[in-house]
Amino acid sequence: MELTLGFSPCPNDTFIFDALIHHKIDTKGLTFRVEYHDVETLNDKAFNNELDITKLSYHAFAYAVQQYELLDAGSALGFGVGPLLITKSADLTTKLKAYAGNDLPAALEDLRVGIPGKYTTANFLLGLAFPALQNKQELVFSDIEQALLDNTIDLGLIIHENRFTYQDKGLFKVMDLGDFWERTTSNPIPLGGIVIKRELPVDVKLLVNQLIKESVEYAFANPKSGLEYIRSYAQEMEETVMYKHIELYVNKYSIHLGTEGRSAVTTLFEKAHSVGLIPQIEKNIFLT
């Protein structure tokens, strides 16, 4: 049986799925036709019910929950892994830090913010910390630093490997929005998860979950096994940055959400609904 599978070319995703798609583990008769896309494209494909299995932002999952269930394996959650709000102006950094979670003065409300997508979890967290910042421009995540340097935006919301490079470009951190989430909820931040179509047979969904779990475990046990594959999609990234990226986003929650991970996901949806960022979730979100 062939299933379509979508994930990003970022090192954390290629690290997770290497063993699965290259048959380094026994896939029990399943094969996977892979599509590589940035996170916002993956979100859009989930909204359109295009892929059997896909990575997507947890924020976006709230709008795709009718079609998909969340797998227990493959997620990106953790402490200290949140998106960063950055700027070119050191003065602006000082001003904004004082207002996190509170009303902004009118003079700051029109600041131009580059975001990696409307339905990213990063944008959800920005809405919690600075709800008044509504002058947003959607950009490919890798273009946000340059947009700041070019003065086409005032603030940038960065994800992935950019958290390791922004300082080298003379940019300043306003806030780690993951830290803001952790301080207010005491939960790890759920960034992205792997979902599967509800309409697939239960035994297939359970098998896919088990295979992704085994693929992550294989990667942890053989961390250099997928090096060439991972590097082929991260050609401009230094190897040290590549592995920092993996270490940051692939952890115990990627093997098994567990009680703590499920609680974090549930808290995210409850908090997002309470402030009007997502609709009420009516369906069970977890594969059972």
Which conformational region is residue 101 in: left (phi greater than 0), alpha (psi within -120 to 50 degrees), or beta?
left
Q: Which DSSP helix (H) or strand (E) runs through 194? A: strand 189-197
Does 55 appear as a known binding residue?
yes
Sort 91 into a burial class: Cβ within 10 Å, 0-12 / 13-18 / 19+: exposed
Q: What HEC string does 104-144 produce? A: CCHHHHCCCEEECCCCCHHHHHHHHHCCCCCCEEECCHHHH
Does 173 appear as a known binding residue?
no
- State yes or no: is 160 an active-site residue: yes
Does 213 appear as a known binding residue?
no
CB under 8 Å to 213, separation ≥6 — which residues? 72, 73, 74, 255, 256
Does 121 appear as a known binding residue?
yes
Q: Decide: 18 and 230 in contact? Cβ < 8 Å.
A: yes
CA atoms within 13 A on the CB side of 285: 25
The structure tokens listed for 132 are 């008044």
The identity of residue 247, as a single letter, is E
CA distances, 156 to each of 84, 136, 169, 170, 253 (Å): 8, 10, 13, 13, 27
Q: Which of 160, 245, 256, 273 is catalytic?
A: 160
Does 31 appear as a known binding residue?
no
Q: Decide: 122 and 113 in contact? Cβ < 8 Å.
A: no
Candidates 36, 29, 79; CA nearest to 183 is 79
The identity of residue 286, as a single letter, is F
Tallying the residues shown for the chain, one arrives at: 288
CA distances, 99 to each of 80, 129, 132, 135, 148 (Å): 21, 9, 11, 17, 21
Name the binding residues for substrate: 55-57, 121-122
Name the binding residues: 55-57, 121-122
Catalogue the active-site residues. 160
